[in-house]
Structure 1
């Protein structure tokens, strides 16, 4: 089986994404997780550009890696100086990285406009840079920046740049679609020309997603002979992002007959994807192929009926191969097949003629007509399911009362929110208060504060997301402020995420319903883990 080596640049190129910022410790944690996944190379950053990256290369030397090699990134030396005196080169060597990746201009416009030098001077710059650095490291890769744009504009110049890098000792010539504007046919044409000019050279690919083709272009490059693929987890990167390794690797392994990280490691892909989004404090993309929560989710009754007979009817791969799982969604579009599948997943299989099934269907459709949304709020549905099917009222406490105050005391001051909650657990009553960033946060904190004495694990729970939607058509009178609102709350505890829902004409009441379901679901899952069912 042919092998393709994966070069992850999440820690460098990925951090150029809008809203993505990583500390040195964040980067170390991600690097260790990528090592578990089995990628061959992890680009740690550009040690000559910022303190965070310099600190990373110092810190990472304290850790052992089983599968991955740490690479440092930099540019060709400043044409106004020499390799021996170049500050970037010195920082690269001081990083102690065994692998270096150097980018250079391969588009004539960039050489003359950005660097202000002639074409031959640019070719010499690439050769001298690589020749100077190569003896100091195990491997050196040359990132041919803007290669495909340069190839379209001036083929001879771009190929001369690659030839210089190859002759100087570059181990891989990485062809970069830096602007992300190339089509797969462009990639194929250019690689064929490179292989004809430099038949002994090892080819790599580095694409951006500005035309929504980064993954397609990377796969086409492999088809044309590239055996080194650069990209980022979840496709993070500048502008529209980089090639998404979470799509590239399973396509290579499962559909194209190439080995990159191996089938056993591929099963960790969803976990690693979500871990990195958590560290980056970015919400996972639900509809991301292979690893997204919706990647193998089924809502329509016809689909679910077919999937129950054979999952291949509506799934292009077995979800477990990438560490994901099949999900059956529930809504007023759902058929009985959806409900039967959910019952099996919850450990309470039902027969088609079970009267509880009709009761569930009736309750679901009634509540969704009121504005509840269970295709998203699966945790709330699971609580309702157990109440109807197994008679379990999963209420771990009883509300006696709550009071929420939201006040703004000065024009320019931030408003303050405070909530008091009185609950009963067993034969004990707890009365607490808490402040928060808004009334819902205050209510959530007050409730957990009241319950943590009885259920210490609640200190793990965090409110991750909060959405409010006014329900059109559900207006109680002519005033728009009397409309029903739906509140969706996403919570997490370090083990998993779950979403709960509440509906009321009062936003605080709807929020309370969702918060209560969130707490009850957490405690229910704790009970399941304790008996080995989670």
Structure 2
């Protein structure tokens, strides 16, 4: 059986830009348009509404100029209105060739918003289509509020479609304008229409108000719809539109009888670019393009991946230009850590691996993310600790920093079974901590080495809650030595480095 080709129309630049507080500049619009058509290879793009601002007009012109030069002008569409030719003139001036004419798809909208009869509306639509054709503009027709039209005024919808079947219209577009459809209604309504008007090309335009947009698109496709409207990252008014990446993956994996031309490998990079331009953040758990969706956190999953890919499904990250990651945190197992070590080209024996795993779990309890880049620092910290016997233990400390007062520290320390407590002030919290230590060591008639260098670094590629490594150089008599401490808090990492020094001396 030959597969049916489905047209993908991306409306990120028109409907997607209606996302609250999103506005693309003209150069951003052109860049996105080029990526959608050349890299992602969607079939069509809807780029603007006619009759909007001067800036928008210039943005449309820059896209139509580029599209004309590169053979894409028939794939560039503009939303227009039944307005006695004003939209059409705007399109002519902007150099656009395809109008998506907004009409009323429910009797409610027609009666209460336009206050017109069906015949009056149809007559004006006919005049608009004829006028467009005369100016070399092709027409697609949107039936606004079509989903409610099918629920509440089906006879009107069928009368409208009967009229459109006699007009010079390329596509009829069926929007669930308010995002109210269920999957079963999407299937039933599209089936009914396709059965009655099999010669017309129908597009389905889903909104995501009930989080059903992908399911509704799937059912509309099963019912025989010919094209679907999507947006990058599911951008759009209210809860947004059907998301491009999710729908592409669903069609490719579950509907092999349908063919789409989208290049999956470009989905992630285009998604990230649109995120940057729009400021509209992608939720980390958004399917296909979210930061976390190809990250295994549970150790059992990483272990299963090592043993015949037990936790893989068809959504392999490489399909979308991504890589699987193994998160390091409190639910990490040895397998997660081994996967990350392999990528870094590191190998640990079982005993050391156990200690590193334990350390990562401790850190994971305190902070959200331990990154792959943190691993060498953690290993270094853990292996350092193997070099000496713990005879000195920092039991607890209280660091205070108040405006107008010198920082102070109270510390409790156990030296070979004997516990001491001291309080001191200093120029900073760590300085106060060192002064408190000196007070304890004076009681023991012991001298502390001199601190001669103090360096703090964050692992490259780490993030804002990154691990912090403090490396302190000490001098005792004529001998210099270094200790390092690792923690998500800078002062605590310095205290840990100091605790190692106390054990070494």
TM-score band by shorter chain is 0.7 to 0.9
User: Deviation of residue 122 (structure 1)?
Assistant: 1.9
TM-score of the aligned structures, taking structure 1 as reference length: 0.68
Paired residues of 2:208 and 2:239 also in contact (CA < 8 A): yes
- Structure 1 match to 2:148: 149
User: Deviation of residue 292 (structure 1)?
Assistant: 1.3
Equivalent of 1:75, from 76, 80, 88? 80
- Structure 2 match to 1:48: 51
1:188 to 1:27, Cα distance in 2 relative to 1, 3 A: same
- Structure 2 match to 1:21: 23
User: Deviation of residue 68 (structure 1)?
Assistant: 7.8
- Structure 1 match to 2:131: 132
1:341 to 1:115, Cα distance in 2 relative to 1, 3 A: same
- Structure 2 match to 1:171: 170
- Structure 1 match to 2:14: 12
- Structure 1 match to 2:201: 202
- Structure 2 match to 1:252: 251
Q: In structure 1, list runs of 5 or more residues that go unmatched.
A: 392-404, 408-489, 515-534
SS of the residue 2:338 aligns to: helix
SS of the residue 2:229 aligns to: strand
Equivalent of 1:333, from 328, 331, 334? 331
Q: Structure 2 CA distance, aligned partners of 1:54 and 1:363? A: 58
User: Deviation of residue 499 (structure 1)?
Assistant: 5.1
Q: In structure 2, list runs of 5 or more residues that go unmatched.
A: 385-400, 404-457, 470-486, 493-505
- Structure 1 match to 2:387: none
User: Deviation of residue 332 (structure 1)?
Assistant: 1.9
Paired residues of 1:38 and 1:67 also in contact (CA < 8 A): no
- Structure 2 match to 1:363: 359
SS of the residue 2:96 aligns to: coil
Higher-Rg structure is 2
Q: Structure 1 CA distance, aligned partners of 2:146 and 2:342? A: 53
Alignment of 1:35-434 (within 5 A): 35=37, 36-63=39-66, 64-65=69-70, 69-78=74-83, 83=84, 86-137=85-136, 139-257=138-256, 258-262=258-262, 265-311=263-309, 313-348=311-346, 350=347, 353-369=349-365, 371-374=366-369, 377-378=370-371, 381-382=374-375, 384-385=377-378, 387=380
Q: Structure 2 CA distance, aligned partners of 1:310 and 1:67? A: 45
The number of equivalent residue pairs is: 400
User: Deviation of residue 513 (structure 1)?
Assistant: 8.6
Q: Structure 1 CA distance, aligned partners of 2:288 and 2:18? A: 24
Paired residues of 1:18 and 1:238 also in contact (CA < 8 A): yes
1:68 to 1:291, Cα distance in 2 relative to 1, 3 A: farther
Paired residues of 2:340 and 2:372 also in contact (CA < 8 A): no
SS of the residue 2:101 aligns to: strand
2:36 is the counterpart of 1:34: yes
Q: Structure 2 CA distance, aligned partners of 1:309 and 1:47? A: 57
Q: Structure 2 CA distance, aligned partners of 1:383 and 1:275? A: 31
SS of the residue 2:466 aligns to: strand
Q: Which deviates more from structure 2 when the two are superposed, residues 265-274 or residues 90-99?
A: 90-99
1:451-485 deviation per Cα after TM superposition (whole angstroms, max 9, x unaligned): xxxxxxxxxxxxxxxxxxxxxxxxxxxxxxxxxxx
1:216 to 1:71, Cα distance in 2 relative to 1, 3 A: same
Q: Structure 1 CA distance, aligned partners of 2:333 and 2:142? A: 53
Paired residues of 2:105 and 2:145 also in contact (CA < 8 A): yes
Q: Structure 1 CA distance, aligned partners of 2:32 and 2:157? A: 35
User: Deviation of residue 388 (structure 1)?
Assistant: 5.8
Q: Structure 2 CA distance, aligned partners of 1:386 and 1:66? A: 56
SS of the residue 2:204 aligns to: strand
Q: Structure 1 CA distance, aligned partners of 2:53 and 2:462? A: 34
